[in-house]
Structure 1
């Protein structure tokens, strides 16, 4: 399993800071991050951003879903 760095953009305040870099197992798919009682979803916007000399894909916030009870 390969991981890659991605940049998160938009969504809740803690993710809205452009340049929030994290690892993703597959940068080609939607990223789902556990946040409180739900999940924040991000999708690749087609945009790239250079961070510390690396050209990273930017994933834009797309939706929030609640955890099923």
Structure 2
């Protein structure tokens, strides 16, 4: 899937789903679980990724 197709799918979900339920995910595994559960959108947090992957708080100084 290219970025244009993903953006178009997101815009359509924003227009048609009211409200649009967005799942907060910390890694790709949780994103797949959210998609399997029916979520049309996810939110990926840099702090969540840092905490889950590196076991460190996100202070804006870590690069992954």
After TM superposition, the score normalised by the length of structure 1 is: 0.21
After TM superposition, the score normalised by the length of structure 2 is: 0.22
Whichever structure has more strand as a proportion of its residues is 1
